[in-house]
Amino acid sequence: MDDILIVEKACKSFGELRAVREISFTVDAGEIFGIAGPNGSGKSTLFNLITSIPYPADSGRVLFGGKAIHRMRANRICRAGVARTFQKETAFDTLSTIENVMLGSVYGHERPDTPTAQRRTREALAFVGIAEDQYGRPAGELSVFDKKRLMLASALATRPRLLLLDEPASGLTKPEIDETIELLRRVNAEGVTVLVIEHVLPLLLTVSNRLMVLNQGQELTTGRPDDVVRDEHVIEAYLGSRGKDDGRDS
């Protein structure tokens, strides 16, 4: 199978703290690749390094579709076909929902004409299932679920081949999580390779083809989800930090 993403010995430190230490892994085109790990294990930092948003890796290489992207600027990486969402809902709060996604259609891709960009905007919004009466509302006033879906729609509007989702289900209700799972599957069925960080383990276990577990900035194990959850190191890492882990998310 084709490797769409290869990460080789990626490192990132914040002063003394080594947030990501020599992580290497490969993602196949078309798969849903899950990433789990206790709080502070370096999951979000890893996404930051891959997309250069907001910073690149200190060292190591990132190849996307065979091309080195670790020295490219964030907007180039986006245009090359890598999109992401953030752990915390992030949008242009005073712009309307539709204006937000429109900016993604216009800037995420090489100069589409306005009608094309408008069509893609509406497609992305319909795809994630935001109700049409929300299109004109300022993004800052949307519900949490709609904000998450807006972020996803903005990312999809840039027409990615690889999509990185940072905790898409955190803070959602059970029915909303189910909808999110279904949405991830539909994104994947469109041919988009998906990397997904999640604390909600059932979500990861249902959707991912493979699962990587990080601990203290290092890869603990990677494999089929069923095998991974039975791995004793994983159990230890999770149990060892259970107390912290339940009070999720800063």
Partner 1 sequence: MAFETAQSVLLSGIVLGSLYALMATGLSLVWTTLGIFNFAHGIFMTIGAFIAWQVGTDLGWGLGPAAGIALGVAALVGVGCLSEFLLVRPFLSRSGIVMLVVITTLSATIFLENSTLLIWGARYKQMPPLIEGKVELLSTAISAHEVLMIAIAPLTLLTLWVFLKFTRIGSAIRAVSQNQESALLMGMNVPLLYSIAFGLSAGLAGFAGILLGSIRFITPGLGNEPLVKALIVAIFGGLGSLGGTIGAAYIIGLVEAISTFFIGLYWTPAILFAGMIVVLLLRPTGLFGKK
The answer to whether residue 87 forms part of the interface with ligand ATP (CB under 6 A) is yes
- Kindly identify the residues of this chain, within the stretch 54-83, that bind partner 1 according to CB under 8 A: 54-55, 73-75, 78-79, 83
**Integer angstrom CA distances of residue 122 from 83, 98, 134, 144, 211:** 18, 8, 12, 20, 33
Q: Does 148 bind partner 1 (CB under 8 A)?
A: no
The residue from 2, 9, 24, 94 that contacts partner 1 (CB under 8 A) is 94
Q: Which residues, other chains included, contact 143 with Cβ-Cβ below 8 Å and sequence gap of 6+? A: none
Stretch that binds ligand ATP, among 35-43, 63-71, 99-107, 146-154 (CB under 6 A): 35-43
Determine, following the binding rule CB under 8 A, whether residue 95 of this chain makes contact with partner 1: yes
Residue 73 contact among ligand ATP, Mg ion, partner 1, none, beta carbon within 5 to 8 Å by kind: partner 1
* Residue matched to tokens 């940072």: 166
Choose between 37 and 104: whose C-beta lies nearer to ligand ATP: 37
- Which of 8, 26, 65, 87 touches Mg ion (CB under 5 A)? 87
Q: Identify which of residues 109 and 148 has a Cβ nearer to Mg ion in the complex.
A: 148
Name the site residues for ligand ATP (rule: CB under 6 A). 14, 17, 19, 37, 39-45, 87, 249-250
